[in-house]
């Protein structure tokens, strides 16, 4: 008896083939088939290799059209037809014109894979602190670091970035993976062997990340690449000793609203915008800013004074979050 793929090939030109594709993937879902079975179904029915990549969940499955699992030869080619499903991407490794059932296979297989990913791979695997430490240790041998990176599910031929968390932990993530939502510094995306530099940058960025409280207002997530020249301030040995930081602390002690008010003024484009952020009447803000300028000893509404305020706020944060 002829097999399924042969039968489908014979039906290429007919509408019946699409119905069979639907019936096949519905059958897989009903039978609670796993991810390998779904990717295999896509490869067999489309007649070309198929792969499912989910960097966030560290799922990488590739199947050949004869149903055999095959290693990933490299990163996916963006020109292949694909269907996103959550953080994952299902692709057919098709060069040239699409096969007759490609679109239907992609749609049904991605739908089936999505439900299995949610059911069985809902949580990203725990990070391995020892492996992270190895990858970001520039003095460790390259092959050892690459091995550790593979264990962490990082794309061996791709790029990744380091994350320094407020908790003191470090994470590594494939480029394109969403950053955390807690206080963190983010390093630039780099080839895996350059991750020590990304990690150092992430740690620097973390010092500029605020706690987002009245005591420490500001952005909780800071990308090193967006710091620009401000990053140089991280080299200042004793930020608390800078006179403007002492003036800022003096002002902060004078009234509880001073730091949030000054942060709003420094980080918005106008007094009106700052009043909106603070949910204050424009004249109330005017009064507060005049008081604050008095305690600080300089005007924050002139360009020069505004820059001076921004630098003082940054230095104060560096003091609060020492390296």
Residues found near another protein in the complex (CB under 8 A): 1-8, 16, 20-21, 23-28, 30-34, 36-37, 40-41, 44, 65-68
- Please report how close the Cβ of residue 29 comes to another protein at its closest, in angstroms: 9
Which residue number, 5 or 138, has a Cβ lying nearer to another protein? 5
Task: Give the shortest CB-122-to-another protein separation in angstroms.
Answer: 20
The answer to whether 143 and 156 have CB atoms below 8 angstroms apart is no
Q: Where are the beta strands (DSSP E) in the chain?
A: 50-54, 59-63, 82-85, 88-92, 159-165, 170-174, 184-186, 190-191, 221-223
**Residue pair 249/312 in contact by the 8 Å Cβ criterion:** no
Nearer residue to another protein within complex by CB, 34 or 176: 34
Q: What is the C-alpha separation between 287 and 291, in angstroms, rounded?
A: 6
CA–CA distance, 101 with 310 (Å, rounded to integer): 58
Of residues 321, 136, 166, the one with CA closest to residue 234? 321
Is 305 in contact with 194 (CB distance < 8 Å)? Answer: no
Report the residue number, 50 or 314, with the smaller CB distance to another protein: 50
Task: Report the first-to-last Cα separation within the chain, whole angstroms.
Answer: 70
Identity of the residue, 5 or 72, whose beta carbon is nearer to another protein in the bound complex: 5
* Strand 184-186 versus strand 159-165 pairing type: antiparallel
Distance of CA 214 to the CA centre of its chain: 27
Q: Are 268 and 274 in contact (CB under 8 A)?
A: yes
Q: Which of 12, 15, 44, 17 is nearest to 28 (CA)?
A: 44
Backbone angles phi, psi at 179, to 5 degrees: -75, 170
Residues 125, 93 contacting (CB under 8 angstroms): no
Q: Which is nearer to another protein, 38 or 258 (CB)?
A: 38
* Other residues' Cβ atoms within 10 Å of the Cβ of residue 228: 8
Q: Which is nearer to another protein, 17 or 252 (CB)?
A: 17
> Which 8-state DSSP code applies to residue 265?
H
Q: Which is nearer to another protein, 45 or 152 (CB)?
A: 45
Q: Based on CB atoms, which residue is closest to another protein, 5 or 103?
A: 5
């Amino acid at each position: 008896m002829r097999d399924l793929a042969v039968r489908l090939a014979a039906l290429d030109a007919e509408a019946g083939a699409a119905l069979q594709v639907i019936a096949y993937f519905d059958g897989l879902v009903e039978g609670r088939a796993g991810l390998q079975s779904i990717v295999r179904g896509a490869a067999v029915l489309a007649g070309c290799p198929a792969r499912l990549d989910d960097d966030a969940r560290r799922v990488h499955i590739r199947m050949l059209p004869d149903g055999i699992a095959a290693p990933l030869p490299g990163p996916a080619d963006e020109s292949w037809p694909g269907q996103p499903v959550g953080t994952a991407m299902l692709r057919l490794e098709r060069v040239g014109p699409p096969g007759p059932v490609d679109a239907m296979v992609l749609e049904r297989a991605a739908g089936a894979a999505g439900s299995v990913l949610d059911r069985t791979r809902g949580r990203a695997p725990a990070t391995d602190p020892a492996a992270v430490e190895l990858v970001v240790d520039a003095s460790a041998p390259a092959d050892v670091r690459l091995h550790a990176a593979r264990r962490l599910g990082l794309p061996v031929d791709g790029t990744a970035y380091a994350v320094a968390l407020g908790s003191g932990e470090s994470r590594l993530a494939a480029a394109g993976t969403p950053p955390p939502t807690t206080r963190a510094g983010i390093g630039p995306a780099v080839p895996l062997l350059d991750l020590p530099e990304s990690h150092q940058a992430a740690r620097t960025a973390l010092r500029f990340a605020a706690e987002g409280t009245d005591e420490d207002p500001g952005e909780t997530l800071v990308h090193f690449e967006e710091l620009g020249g401000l990053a140089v301030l991280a080299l200042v040995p004793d930020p608390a000793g800078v006179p403007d930081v002492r003036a800022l602390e003096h002002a902060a002690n004078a009234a509880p609203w001073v730091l949030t008010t000054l942060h709003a003024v420094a980080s918005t484009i106008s007094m009106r915008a700052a009043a909106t952020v603070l949910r204050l009447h424009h004249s109330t803000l005017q009064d507060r800013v005049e008081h604050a300028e008095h305690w600080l000893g300089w005007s924050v509404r002139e360009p020069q004074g505004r820059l001076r305020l921004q630098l003082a706020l940054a230095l104060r944060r560096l003091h609060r979050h020492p390296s």
